[in-house]
Copies of this chain bind each other. A is one copy, B any other.
Amino acid sequence: MGGDEVKLLGAWPSPYVLRARIALNIKSVDYEFLEEKFGSKSDLLLKSNPVHKKIPVLIHGDRPICESLIIVEYIDQVWPSGPSLLPSDPYDRAIARFWAAYADQWFSSAIVVLYEDDGEKAAAAVEEAKKGLSLFDEALVKCSKGQNFFGGDRMGYLDIALGSLLSWIKVIQILRNVSLIDESTTPNLFRWAPRFAADHAVKDVFPDIHKHLEFAKFLVARTKAQP
């Protein structure tokens, strides 16, 4: 009955699915990636996450685990032999969790920039998004303690939580011709972002920008076509 097999229900453009993939890669866990088709939900997904019916779902043996940040914490605890994802110090851990939760909140506001047609509203959403990113920029200085990642000398929980959004941030920047992360306003994030994308646990699962742009255009068109 499933044993210790690991499966991940997901889809490549989902930043939340990306979190689970990166965490599994950091821990060198072999897993089967079961791609959900866009616009439909598999029986396995409906059975595994009956409350939210959303990806990602990690299935370990025959037990489903839902919600991306909870999955990352689960992976960290179940495979302790790999590099730790969460800081060991309780205060550092609370701070990482705080900013990870804020990353989710930030993204659900920032994605509005992609869809907003009203020029004034779009400009306001960009300003809000930039304000949030400058908070992350400061947080990076504090959390990294002068090293390369939020997690210090290597990628950790908060790197995964925020870094998983980078491809979408790039897509918004290109399609809406705005600057969100740049050298002048978020210098630390600006240096961190390419380090994140180039990390060995990330580079093979990070969305290709051309493919991602096409997907985003399709999504925006589809959303606007809906009544």
Residues of A within 8 A of B (CB): 51, 60, 63, 65-67, 70-71, 73-74, 77-78, 90-91, 93-94, 97-98, 101-102, 135
Those 9 A-B pairs whose CB atoms lie nearest each other, nearest first: A77-B90, A74-B94, A65-B94, A70-B97, A78-B90, A70-B94, A74-B90, A63-B91, A67-B98
A102 touches B70 (CB 8 A): no
A74 touches B101 (CB 8 A): no
Contacts of A97 in B (CB 8 A): 67, 70, 73
For A60, give the chain B residue with the smallest CB separation.
B91
Contacts of A74 in B (CB 8 A): 90-91, 93-94
In the bound assembly, the distance between CA atoms of A78 and B74 in angstroms comes to: 20
A135 touches B94 (CB 8 A): no
A93 and B77 in contact (CB under 8 A), knowing A51-B102, A135-B51?
A: yes
For A139, give the chain B residue with the smallest CB separation.
B51
